[in-house]
């Protein structure tokens, strides 16, 4: 019995002296290749995000320019809306502004023909200096009341022909780039 007790004591002492075995998996760092792959993936993602951001910014800028241009075309439409097709003094004798007329004194629709406004003007014909990067270009052509889609290029019906109707087209440029165009028909009231 004594021998057995001594043997048990010896085994316990030996167990205490032995190092504990860590059975968890050994930790391993990233290799250089793995790190390089990670950097490459992050780089590609960063470039893609930057390209997407640039595209969105460009799209927003174009949309903003188009909105401003449509508004400026509408200003010409509003400016000409109350005007007759014939000059109150000279009638149909002149297609375009009469001698001595200026933007503020235009009194019929075709006075606006072949005019450009830069800075653009509002419906009261006042310059909009805040939008001086835009230009309104106006064209007025006569149209046949039975063919309102005709004379698109303005050559089929000479401006000396009074038809009782005109097509007004306003093209708005932002810098040198066309940003919007608006056309409408006006008939003699
Ligand atoms: Ca006039």
Question: Tens of pLDDT along 64-90?
Answer: 999 999 999 999 999 999 999 999 999
CA of 25 to the centre of ligand 1 (A): 93
CA of 163 to the centre of ligand 1 (A): 17
CA of 21 to the centre of ligand 1 (A): 104
| Cβ pair 96, 114 in contact under 8 A | yes
pLDDT at 7: 53
Q: Taking the alpha carbons of 130, 132, 133, 139 in that order, is the dihedral positive or negative?
A: positive
CA of 98 to the centre of ligand 1 (A): 5
| Cβ pair 161, 167 in contact under 8 A | no
CA of 18 to the centre of ligand 1 (A): 112
pLDDT at residue 100 is higher than 60: yes
CA of 97 to the centre of ligand 1 (A): 5
pLDDT at residue 165 is higher than 70: yes
Task: Please give the average per-residue pLDDT across 102-123, as a whole number.
Answer: 98
Task: Please give the average per-residue pLDDT across 130-147, as a whole number.
Answer: 96
Task: Give whole-number Cα distances, 65 to 13, 95, 102, 154, 174, in Å.
Answer: 87, 32, 28, 28, 7
Mean model confidence pLDDT for the chain: 90
pLDDT at 132: 95
Dihedral, CA atoms, 26, 29, 31, 35, nearest 10 degrees?
140
Per-residue pLDDT of 28-58, as tens digits, reads: 788 888 889 999 999 999 999 999 999 999 9
CA of 110 to the centre of ligand 1 (A): 7
CA of 133 to the centre of ligand 1 (A): 28
Q: Which DSSP symbol is given to 120?
A: -
CA of 107 to the centre of ligand 1 (A): 5
Higher pLDDT, 11 or 95: 95
CA of 171 to the centre of ligand 1 (A): 21
pLDDT at residue 2 is higher than 50: no
Task: Please give the average per-residue pLDDT across 114-133, as a whole number.
Answer: 97
* Lowest mean per-residue pLDDT among 6-10, 113-117, 162-166: 6-10
pLDDT at 46: 94
Cβ neighbors of 171 (< 8 A, separation 6 or more) are: 73, 136, 137, 139, 178, 180, 181
pLDDT at 21: 64
């Amino acid at each position: 019995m004594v021998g057995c007790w001594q043997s048990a004591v010896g085994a316990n002492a030996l167990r205490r002296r032995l190092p504990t075995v860590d059975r968890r998996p050994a930790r391993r760092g990233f290799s250089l290749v793995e790190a390089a792959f990670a950097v490459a993936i992050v780089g590609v993602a960063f470039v893609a995000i930057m390209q997407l951001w640039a595209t969105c910014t460009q799209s927003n800028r174009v949309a903003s320019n188009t909105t401003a241009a449509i508004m400026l075309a509408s200003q010409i439409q509003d400016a000409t809306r109350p005007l007759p097709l014939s000059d109150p003094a000279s009638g149909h004798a002149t297609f375009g502004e009469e001698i001595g007329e200026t933007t503020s004194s235009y009194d019929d629709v075709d006075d606006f023909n072949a005019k450009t406004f830069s800075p653009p003007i509002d419906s009261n014909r006042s310059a909009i200096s805040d939008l001086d990067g835009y230009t309104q270009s106006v064209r007025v052509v006569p149209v046949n009341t039975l063919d309102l889609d005709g004379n698109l290029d303005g050559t089929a019906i000479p401006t000396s022909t009074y038809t009782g109707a005109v097509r007004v087209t306003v093209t708005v440029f932002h810098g040198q780039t066309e940003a919007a165009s608006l056309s409408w028909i006006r008939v003699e009231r």
